[in-house]
């Protein structure tokens, strides 16, 4: 989820906003903005659920949340979470 939300922020900041101001084309922001907003809310809810289940420490949760506020931060938190999952013992489903 962090990867998807982070990618939407990158698309908004590096694609839609420059097109809005450089090319006078605000349609990108009108489309990507609400999509990013919905993904941000969804990712935040998923983070709270993960925290409440004890699957992530409060400090790591804070780090993931703060990373979601900056471009490319979602990529960092995705990599951090992937490393943590790879180190965790496998559990039966």
Token digits of residue 31: 């489309």
All residue ranges of the chain with pLDDT < 50 are 92-93
For position 17, what pLDDT does the model report? 96
Q: Is the pTM of this model over 0.75?
A: yes
Tell the residue number behind the tokens 């965790």, with chain if given.
88
CA dist 2 and 47 (Å) reads 9
Tell the residue number behind the tokens 């979470």, with chain if given.
81
For position 91, what pLDDT does the model report? 59
């Amino acid at each position: 989820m962090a990867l998807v939300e982070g990618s939407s922020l990158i698309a908004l900041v590096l694609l839609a906003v420059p097109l809005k101001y450089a090319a006078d084309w605000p349609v990108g922001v009108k489309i990507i903005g609400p999509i990013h907003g919905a993904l941000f809310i969804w990712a935040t809810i998923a983070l709270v659920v993960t925290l409440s289940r004890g699957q992530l420490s409060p400090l790591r949760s804070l780090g993931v949340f703060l990373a979601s506020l900056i471009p490319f931060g979602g990529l960092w938190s995705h990599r951090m979470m992937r490393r943590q999952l790879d180190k965790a013992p496998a559990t039966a489903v």
